[in-house]
Amino acid sequence: MPRYDFDLFTIGAGSGGVAGSRRAGSYGARVAICEDSRVGGTCVMRGCVPKKLLVYGAQFSDAFADAAGFGWNVPVPSFDWSSLIAAKNKELDRLEQIYRTMLKNGKVELVEGRGVVTDPHTVEVDGKTYTADKIMVATGGHPTVPDLPGIEHVISSNEALDLPKLPRRIVIVGGGYIAVEFAGIFRGFGSEVHEIIRREELLYGFDDDLRVALAQEMRNRGIEIHTRTQVARIEKFAHGYSVFTTHGQEISADLVMYATGRKPNTRGLGLAEIGVELNHEGAVVVDEWQRSTVPNIYAVGDVTDRLNLTPVAIAEGRAIAETLYNDNPIKMDHGDVPTAVFSQPPIGTVGLTEDEARVKYADIDVYSARFRPMKNTLSGRDERTLMKIVVDAASDRVVGCHMLGPDAPEIIQGLAVAVKCGATKAQFDQTVGIHPSAAEEFVTMREKVVRPTKLAAD
């Protein structure tokens, strides 16, 4: 008789937990997974997927505006927010059912309820205990807000996806990718948007040229970005809300949204009590094999607070399954992971930023191009695309590719393969471009960017 009920018990049925559990089940492991919310997790139910659907919806305002330049006579369009939200919710219901079916077909037992670890081999779910040889924690993260007067009046990205009506005016606090994406969404639907950020530029951690260029394009679209600004308090009035800044400014809005960070979902899971080390943010500390300080307990995805990206969580979960149940030891490689910001216009990036490369390498070459996409010549839109390549001068290896502009995520995905494989700038130059396309610029850039000495030293 087996010593434990299961070989693997996963807490959290999001992308990473589901992927790792299904892979383990496919290798014959006895697997269970528990979830206290909707199956699919943050990405499918409260993040990437519904947000991208809203991004698509918001982009139609550009299409209608650009059509006249190509000979289309388009009547003044109207928009129904409730219809979009209903369609979005229907799609999420469909996806959740697909996830449930995948678990069932993968012979993974779904236990609905909140899981708490009571000892290294036991998980309690709503009063019932389950034992397992290995436990995988895949509980993701949650939005956080600062403690300031009136913070009870704000919403997070979770609520922003299910608003009963479109706000006429909205204040978004935060300069990260979630804030930037929702600023573009609401502006695309016609809302007046104010974005408040503490820093001088948006998207801390991304390449500086992209950060500056995106802010310029967002302002050109009518989004007001308040830099080096912090909120002092929020007050509710009959007309809506007022956000008062530490500069003494008052900004009125129908809605205030905070996107100032996320923290791992570890509170109340019982992990620290059984010896699992958590860092100062509550994230599970893991080694290169995704193991916590309790050797049979593993963790993947946002709950480890490293690279908080859905494909990373999926790869980490699958690596655990391969290592434990397929005699195929795999360490997740967190280097050169591509990512995107579905801002308007979007960003795609892989590898090192220019500043990171200057720290890592003795000498680098930078190539950059800024141009007006062909589509904008007839539409009259003044938006410009930015592309950038960062090269280690000694080896000629391309160590970073960055793009702001239409289809940037789609283009960078292909370039990520080249960067991961160690392609050189000479090999980029030898590659024939597809003409006419924006993507061809990545293989035709020849002029190096010359930075002032002082800037390069910084």
Question: Is position 14 within any domain?
Answer: yes
The answer to whether residue 71 is domain-embedded is yes
Asked whether residue 60 is domain-assigned, the answer is: yes
Nearest to 316 by CA among 337, 347, 344: 337
Percent of the chain with pLDDT over 90: 97
Q: Per-residue pLDDT for 28 more than 90?
A: yes
Q: What is the pLDDT of residues 169-180, one digit of tens each?
A: 999 999 999 999
Q: Name the token pair of 320.
A: 């655990």
The DSSP line for 39-67 is TTHIIIIISHHHHHHHHHHHHHHHHHHHH
Nearest to 114 by CA among 39, 12, 263: 12
* pLDDT over 50 (residue 311): yes
Q: Decide if 334 is inside a domain.
A: no
Residues in the chain, overall count: 458
Distance CA 141, CA 136 (A): 15
Residues 110 and 22 occupy one common structural domain: yes
Instruction: Tell me the mean pLDDT in the region 321-328.
Output: 98
Range(s) of the domain holding residue 121: 6-141+263-325
- By CB atoms closer than 10 A (0-12, 13-18, 19+), residue 70 is exposed
The CATH number assigned to the domain holding 410 equals 3.30.390.30
Question: If you search the block for the tokens 């979960």, which residue do you land on?
Answer: 317
Tens digit of each residue's pLDDT (9 = 90 or more) over 219-278: 999 999 999 999 999 999 988 999 999 999 999 999 999 999 999 999 999 999 999 999
Residue 188 and residue 244 share a domain = yes
Place of tokens 């302002």: 219
- Count CA atoms within 13 Å of residue 3 on its CB side: 7
Among the three residues 260, 275, 306, which one is the final residue of a domain in this structure? 260
236 and 204 co-located in one domain: yes
| Whether residue 319 sits in one domain with residue 256 | no
In a domain, 99, yes or no: yes
Which of 129, 137, 176, 135 minimizes the C-alpha distance to 157? Answer: 176
Given 274, 297, 325, the domain boundary residue is: 325
Residues 310, 425 within the same domain = no
Beta bridge partners of 368: 388
- How does pLDDT run across 74-122, given as a tens digit for each residue? 898 999 999 999 999 999 999 999 999 999 999 999 999 999 999 999 9
306 and 283 part of one domain: yes
pLDDT at residue 450 greater than cutoff 90: no
- Predicted local distance difference test score (pLDDT) of residue 456: 45
93 and 204 inside one domain: no
The answer, yes or no, to whether residue 458 has pLDDT greater than 70, is: no
State residue 452's pLDDT score: 67
- Please check whether residues 53 and 130 belong to one and the same domain: yes
Q: What is the pLDDT of residues 295-308, one digit of tens each?
A: 999 999 999 999 99
Do the Cβ atoms of 175 and 258 come closer than 8 Å? no
Q: Per-residue confidence at 1, pLDDT binned at 50, 70, 90?
A: low
Q: What is the 3-state secondary structure (H, E, C) of 71-97?
A: CCCCCCCCCCHHHHHHHHHHHHHHHHH
For 458, half-sphere exposure in the C-beta direction (CA atoms, 13 angstrom radius) is 6
Cβ neighbours of 116 (radius 10 Å): 18
Average pLDDT over residues 183-208: 97
Task: Tell me: do 128 and 272 sit in the same domain.
Answer: yes
The whole-angstrom separation of Cα 220 and Cα 371 is 16
Query: What CATH number should be reported for the domain holding residue 234?
Result: 3.50.50.60
List all residues 6 or more positions away from 266 whose beta carbon is below 8 Å from its beta carbon.
Answer: 137, 139, 272, 278, 282, 283, 284, 303
Whether 109 and 203 map to the same domain: the answer is no
- pLDDT tens-digit readout, 130-146: 999 999 999 999 999 99
- Contact yes or no for 11/139 (Cβ under 8 A): yes
Lowest mean per-residue pLDDT among 1-5, 116-120, 353-357, 377-381: 1-5
Distance CA 275, CA 362 (A): 43
Which residues does the annotation mark as catalytic?
435
- Residue 359 is assigned to a structural domain of this protein: yes
Report the chain's C-alpha Rg in angstroms: 24
Rounded Cα–Cα distance for residues 41 and 46 (Å): 7
Same domain flag for 129 and 44: yes
Span 372-395, mean pLDDT?
Answer: 96
Number of domains in the chain: 3
Q: Is 330 a domain residue?
A: no
Residue 185: count of CB within 10 angstroms of its CB: 27
> Among 260, 281, 308, where does a domain finish?
260
Work out the mean pLDDT of the chain and round it to a whole number.
96
Which residues, at least 6 apart from 242, have a Cβ–Cβ distance to it below 8 Å? 234, 235, 250, 251, 252, 253
Same domain, 47 and 188: no
Q: What is the pLDDT of residue 381?
A: 94
pLDDT at 154: 97
pLDDT in tens, 337-346: 999 999 999 9
Rounded to an integer, the average pLDDT of 46-55 is 96
Report pLDDT digits (tens) over 6-26: 999 999 999 999 999 999 999
Torsion angles phi and psi, residue 389, rounded to 5: -125, 135
Which of 448, 349, 457, 355 is CA-nearest to residue 393? Answer: 448
Q: Tell me if 337 is assigned to some domain.
A: no
pLDDT of residue 239: 86
